[in-house]
């Protein structure tokens, strides 16, 4: 059986920016259920007792979400990667990063268009693949922690209804 596409795509004209506005991370094990509407948009997330999404306030123009099709002879999936940088690393921040290094997470990401996206779906989660803390060498160098989270998904990210975000924090 052939897989067919059923529509074209119209180009949008206007101004836009790349990048991300907000990143919220939660432990994948705290997600009990995800509810969707008929358009497949996420309209509710039920979390275990004590579970929450934590905001990671990253440095401007360092947040990126990337989704890449990974295709073999018989299998296909989408590799979801989330990248960002944090500055002014203190002992308290370093302890959070050490926990993040070994955690399996999910993410809700707000892009510059104001859309929210869910990464780490289907019980697979995101794993930390890069976590480096760099002091820089010169006065003008960025002294930052660089974090990359990645995981496979059975398709591209699903949007999240913005009205549910506040209740998850």
Residue range 135-154, pLDDT digits in tens: 888 888 888 999 999 999 98
DSSP state of 95: H
Higher pLDDT, 166 or 10: 166
pLDDT of residue 1: 60
Residue range 31-42, pLDDT digits in tens: 999 999 999 999
Six token digits for residue 145? 């922690």
Six token digits for residue 106? 């999910």
The three-state secondary structure class of 81 is: strand
pTM: 0.91
pLDDT of residue 7: 85
Residue 83 has pLDDT above 90, yes or no: yes
Six token digits for residue 97? 């990063």
- For the chain, domain boundaries: 20-168
Residue range 46-71, pLDDT digits in tens: 999 999 999 999 999 999 999 999 99
């Amino acid at each position: 059986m052939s897989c067919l596409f059923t529509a074209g795509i119209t180009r949008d004209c206007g101004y836009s920016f790349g990048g991300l506005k907000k990143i919220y991370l939660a432990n994948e094990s705290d997600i009990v259920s995800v509810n969707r509407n008929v358009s497949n948009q996420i309209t509710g997330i039920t979390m275990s007792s004590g579970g929450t999404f934590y905001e990671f306030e990253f440095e401007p123009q360092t947040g990126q979400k990337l989704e890449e099709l990974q295709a073999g002879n018989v299998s296909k999936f989408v590799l979801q990667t989330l990248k960002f940088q944090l500055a002014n690393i203190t002992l308290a921040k370093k302890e959070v990063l050490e926990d993040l290094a070994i955690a399996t997470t999910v993410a809700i990401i707000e892009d510059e268009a104001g859309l929210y996206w869910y990464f780490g779906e289907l019980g697979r989660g995101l794993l930390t693949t890069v976590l480096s803390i760099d002091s820089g060498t010169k006065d003008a160098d960025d002294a930052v922690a660089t974090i990359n989270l990645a995981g496979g998904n059975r398709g591209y990210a699903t949007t999240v209804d913005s009205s549910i975000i506040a209740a998850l924090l």
